[in-house]
Structure 1
Amino acid sequence: MGNRTSAQAKGKGTIAVKTKSGVKYIRDILLVPHLKENLLSVGQLLEHDYCLVFEDKFCKIFDKKNNNQTIPKVKMESNKNFPITFDYKALKADVVEESWLWHKRFCHLNFQGLKLLKQRNMMVGLPEL
């Protein structure tokens, strides 16, 4: 985050955004329940074939897959943020189960092994499983 803190993402999903040229999909949106506002990452948009142009206190987002059609044009606010209000609906959201995440991080170590790591304080940040 901008203030050097972090927030835990609880899931990942896809949103459908209504535009003048039809519906556009933005994948891998993170669900962070503790934030008051949703955040959309510039890097994430670039990875999904969108182009962003910042000039004259505006940000234009173009869809490179669809002849560079403009999705929104957003004016910068006094706090230097670019607030975007999409007419969207969530299509899918998968809740990330933390125990399975740690299982994968440790190359599919069995859950008894993960519990043993926790009991012996051998891993920082490992939650109760």
Structure 2
Amino acid sequence: MKSYEEVFLNVEKVTPKLRSVSDDFNRSNMWHLDNGASNHMMGEKEKFLELDTSVRGHVKFGDGSKVCIEGKGSILFQCKNGEQRLLQAVYYIPSLCSNIISLGQLVEDADEVLMRGFFLWIHHRNGKLLMKVKRSQNCLYKIILNDSGLVYLLANLDKPSWLWHARLGHVNFHAIKLMKDKEMVHGLPKIDHPLSCVRVV
């Protein structure tokens, strides 16, 4: 069953950069940290670790224009220290050229956001620093985040949690744990996903 959702990007004085189907899209690992966006969103389908294409809806911009949502999923990032972090509940919007992390959504997920002077800090709920970003001259907070979904998944198929994640069509790990707890699948081992408590690098 498809679900229909509405997302807002409330930036009245900025025209969002969009592309048509025929445009040659330059892929980017640049992410914008935005306190005017109600949800995380990006336009590159291949970067999703898992994607539920039954989720549909639209994004409404501050100027009244709308673009279509064609899915919702998660993206796995590779940290500089070798760790991986999972950004969940990201909307897939094919016509969107910019990658956006919603600061409001991070706070809802119990992360802590602090803005002071020229810097923005994001801490995980356990107090660990996840990001420190310097504000640009045009008052934007931007950071380069390298995704590592497919490579990391292939490297971990020998681990039961990732193997079952692949077997079940890349369903999210919370759903797999729920299947195990409710005994909905025979032979499913206990799933202990090491990234289930984190949101972003």
Please classify the TM superposition score into its range, dividing by the shorter chain length.
0.5 to 0.7
CA distance in 2, matches of 1:71, 1:32: 25
- 5 Å matches for 1:69-84? 69-84=128-143
Pairwise CA distance, 1:24: 1.9
Q: Deviations over 1:32-82 (max 9, x none)?
A: 111211111111111222111101211111111xx3111111111122111
Residues 1:89 and 1:7: Cα distance change in structure 2 (over 3 Å): farther
Among 91, 100, 103, the residue aligned to 1:39: 100
Pairwise CA distance, 1:90: 4.7
Runs of 4+ in 1 over 6 A off after TM superposition: none
Contact 1:26 1:48 in 2 (8 A): no
CA distance in 2, matches of 1:36, 1:69: 30
Among 89, 109, 123, the residue aligned to 1:48: 109
Among 14, 28, 36, the residue aligned to 2:74: 14
Q: Which amino acid aligns with 1:89?
A: S
- 5 Å matches for 1:1-129? 1=9, 2-3=11-12, 4=62, 5-19=65-79, 20=81, 22-64=83-125, 67-90=126-149
Q: Compute the TM-score of the two structures, normalised by the length of structure 2.
A: 0.41
Q: Deviations over 1:12-32 (max 9, x none)?
A: 111122334822212101111
Contact 1:13 1:90 in 2 (8 A): no
Q: Compute the TM-score of the two structures, normalised by the length of structure 1.
A: 0.60
Give the match's secondary structure for 1:40. strand
Give the match's secondary structure for 1:26. strand
Residues 1:90 and 1:12: Cα distance change in structure 2 (over 3 Å): farther
Q: Which of 1 and 2 has greater Rg?
A: 1
Residues 1:90 and 1:8: Cα distance change in structure 2 (over 3 Å): farther
Give the root-mean-square deviation of aligned CA atoms.
2.4
Query: Aligned pairs, how many?
Result: 92
Structure 1 portions without partners, runs of 5+ = 94-129
